[in-house]
Amino acid sequence: MICILMGVSGSGKSTIGQLLSQKLGWPFYDGDDFHPRENIAKMRQGIPLTDEDRRSWLSTLRSLIEQNQNAIIACSSLKESYRDYLEGERTDIVWIYLKGSYEEILERMQHRQGHFMQPQMLRSQFATLEEPKNALVIDISLLPEEIIDRIVNLLD
């Protein structure tokens, strides 16, 4: 099974992914680590990525998915077309949507250190977001431990 943690930047994908990886004993991959340097440079400058910018990144993540039996991947997957592409022919992907309000996530982003995604880009993330119809929806206002317990219970 591949669990993909999705949502806008600042929703907790990396934190929850690492904790879920420890709980399940599966490898964790942070989608941000697979962005080309050009994408990271654009985001550092506050320039939203285009579909074309994301193409090679999504291709790399799809290859990663195809190479794994069990894994947890943090990937914004904001559009349904991105999710469809990442799924390919796999039928064992579980989408986990970490959902929160703009205000809650903006506050988180303003307090985190060293991340390339600038808080002023959050509006474009919400504008691009197409909420999934086939995902486990998790409220990010819960404590991380509660989120992990909820995900594990829903996976059983």
Query: Structural domains in the chain?
Result: 2-155 (3.40.50.300)
Q: How far apart are CA 51 and CA 144, in angstroms?
A: 31
Cβ–Cβ contacts within 10 Å for residue 124, how many? 16
Here the tokens at position 126 are 């919400």
Q: What is the DSSP letter of 48?
A: P
Q: What is the mean pLDDT of residues 74-84?
A: 95
Higher pLDDT, 113 or 68: 68
Q: Give the predicted TM-score (pTM) of the model.
A: 0.90
pLDDT of 59 > 70? The answer is yes
Q: How far apart are CA 60 and CA 76, in angstroms?
A: 14
Q: How far apart are CA 44 and CA 38, in angstroms?
A: 10
Here the tokens at position 2 are 């591949």
Q: How far apart are CA 5 and CA 15, in angstroms?
A: 10
Q: What is the mean pLDDT of residues 4-15?
A: 94
Q: What is the mean pLDDT of residues 48-77?
A: 93
Side-by-side strand order, sheet with 71-74: 28-30, 71-74, 2-6, 93-99, 135-139
Within 13 Å and on the Cβ side, how many CA atoms surround 110? 7
Q: Residue 118's pLDDT is what?
A: 56
Which runs of consecutive H residues, i.e. helices, occur in the chain? Answer: 13-24, 37-44, 51-66, 80-87, 102-111, 122-128, 144-155
